[in-house]
Every structure is written in structure tokens, then in C-alpha cells.
Amino acid sequence: MGRKKITVVGAGHVGEHVAWFCAMKELGDVVLIDIIEGMPQGKALDMSQAVTLEGWDSRVVGTNDYADTADSDVVVITAGLPRKPGMSREDLLDANAKIVKAVSEQVAKYSPNATIITVTNPLDAMTYLCQKVTGFPYNRVFGQAGNLDSARFRCFIAMELNCSVEDVQAMVLGGHGDSMVPLRTCTNVSGIPVTQLIPDDRLEAIIQRTRVGGGEIVKLLKTGSAYYAPALASVEMVEAVLLDKKRIMPCSAYCQGEYGISDIYVGVPVLVGEGGVEKIVEVQLTDDELAALQKSANAVKETVETMKKLGY
């Protein structure tokens, strides 16, 4: 059998933390790959020495060569550019589509049986592109977004109620961006509906803070974006696949009629196990929630159409 093999593409802040958390949880051996020579090797060596201190049996190697990633069980794609001041969304779309297309070709070549989890923004469009380029079955290519957005929502609810985050369950659907849809009806604290615990106006403020959760961190950091939570949200998905945990979590998955959405990747509740997205879970939404989810999916479709016009 041997240990599972996890490749993390991109050794920036998100990628290095994905590699680190995978090693820490002993999910398998980790390959960290980047185009910058020396950087993934240096970070991997540092991690190897750190896991030695804790006695974790995960090997971490850094490389610039996709041959070293061959036969990976799971590949997490974090490579891409962050949006810089003065950059339009279309500029970012073009730059990252170029990167994700090149990465996807290499992954398909060296790890044809891998499950791919994308993290690069704009997330839903990049997941769509990755599946198109690899030609992998839809269930083996999905994106990390809702899991992160839901964690932010849970975090803010726990702060508001001064209660344990362990007791907060929440679900955020839709595209990863301003149009995301935090679900009041699927949010509870130890089974108690959140609407019984937090007044409407405060809950609305928390929902709005969740929507701009990434932007709030960017404004505070000034020279970068979030990486601890995005990385750990991705690792939860890696863990669900490698340990066949059958977790129900919101991920960017390919819809084929579910929620009245077709032929697009968007954040929906899914069952994640060794088959990747084993099932899209259809929950009963209010009319407002369903309309917001469909509007969010249409925004993703527009981004994909722009990407196609750019030649991807």
C-alpha cells in the first residue's frame, strides 16, 4: 500500500501551509513544487526538520520538476498571482488562467488518477478550467471555497455569542466572492437555529462580514492575503478524500441541474470521500436563498465566458 502522495503546486504562503498541515496530520508524503528554484526545496527541508522534532512520519520534498510529482493521490493547486493594486479582475483572470492551464497539463501527464483540489482565484472559474484541461471526471476536480467561507461565518458567530466554535455549524454556498450565500436556515449552534440566538440585524452584519472576509484581511495586511485558514480549509478536503471520511462540506463542484444550475462549478454542499465529490447534497433552500445561489452561479458563468473570450 505505502503512504499516500500529496502534491502541492505553488510554494507561496497558502501552498507552504497546505504542505505543512498535511505533514502535521500525517496524511501522507508531500511534494511541494514551484517554478522558483530553491524556494520549495528550502521550505521542504525546513519542514522535514520540524516534523522530525515532533516525530511525525511524513516526508516533505521540494522540487521544480513535475516528474517528482508522478502518481500523486491528491494534487492541491495554489499557484497563481494575488490581485495587485491597479489590476483589473480580467487581468488577474488572464494571468491565473495561464498558470492553471499549464499546471493542469502537467498534473494530467504525471498523475492521471489524482483527485485535484483547486485554490487559485478566481476559484470557480479556475476549477472549471482545470477540469476542462485535464479531462478528469467532474467528481475528481473540485474547488476549495465554501469550506473557508463557512469557517469565517462560524468564527464570527462564535465571537458574537462568546461560545465554542466546535458547537457552531454553518454553510456558505455560491461563488467564492461578494455574491456568496451564507445560509441562515443551515446554521445552528448545538442544534439551536442561529436565528433564535442572534437578532436579525446582528446576523445580517455577520453575514456581510463573512462575504468580505478575505478583503478585510487583505486591507489589514496591506501586502498580502489570508493563508492559515485557506490552507487548513483545503487540508480538510485532502483529509476527507485520503481517509474516505464522507464529510459533508460546501465545495466548488460541477452542477448538472442541481439547484437549477447547470454546466458550471459553484459552491454547493457535497459529500467528500475517496471518490472526490461523491454526491451533491440538495438541501431545501428558501426562495431568497435559491435565487441568491442562482444569481451567484450566473456571476461565475460570466467570469467563465470572459475566460473563454481570452482564449482558454
Are 216 and 124 found together in one domain? Answer: no
pLDDT in the model for residue 199: 97
165/237 Cα distance (integer angstroms): 19
The percentage of residues in the chain with a pLDDT greater than 90, rounded to a whole number, is 90
Radius of gyration of the chain (CA): 19
Whether residue 35 has pLDDT greater than 80: yes
Strands, E assignment, 120-205: 141-143, 168-169, 172-173, 181-182, 188-189, 192-193
Whether residue 89 has pLDDT greater than 80: no
Q: Domains in the chain: how many in total?
A: 2
Q: What is the mean pLDDT of residues 234-253?
A: 98
What does the buried/exposed string (b/e) look like for 213-233 if buried means 16 or more CB atoms within 10 Å of the residue's CB?
Answer: bbeebeeeeeeebbbebbbbb
Other beta carbons less than 10 A from residue 257's beta carbon = 10
Grid look-up 489570508 returns: 226
Q: What is the mean pLDDT of residues 120-137?
A: 96
Residue 280 sits in a domain of what CATH number?
3.90.110.10
Residue in 43, 83, 152, 176 annotated catalytic: 176
Instruction: Please tell me whether residue 19 adopts helix, strand or coil conformation.
Output: helix
Q: What is the pLDDT of residues 116-128, one digit of tens each?
A: 999 999 999 999 9
pLDDT in the model for residue 85: 67
Grid look-up 426562495 returns: 287
Whether residue 234 has pLDDT greater than 90: yes
Whether residue 177 has pLDDT greater than 80: no
Which grid cell sits at 287? 426562495
Are 261 and 225 found together in one domain? Answer: yes
Instruction: Please tell me whether residue 178 adopts helix, strand or coil conformation.
Output: coil
17 is known as an active-site residue: no
What DSSP line would sit under 25-58, residue for residue?
Answer: TT-SEEEEE-SSTTHHHHHHHHHHHHHHHHT---
Are 119 and 151 found together in one domain? Answer: no
Are 200 and 127 found together in one domain? Answer: no
Confidence (pTM): 0.97
Cis amide leading into 122 (omega within 30): yes
Where in the sequence is the domain holding 172, given as residue range(s)?
A: 146-309
Whether residue 84 has pLDDT greater than 90: no
Q: What is the mean pLDDT of the chain?
A: 95
Q: What is the mean pLDDT of residues 141-158?
A: 96
Q: What is the pLDDT of residues 277-286, one digit of tens each?
A: 999 999 999 9
The percentage of residues in the chain with a pLDDT greater than 70, rounded to a whole number, is 98
pLDDT in the model for residue 220: 92
Q: What is the mean pLDDT of residues 133-156?
A: 97
145/239 Cα distance (integer angstroms): 16
Whether residue 91 has pLDDT greater than 80: yes
End-of-domain residue from the set 143, 166, 197: 143
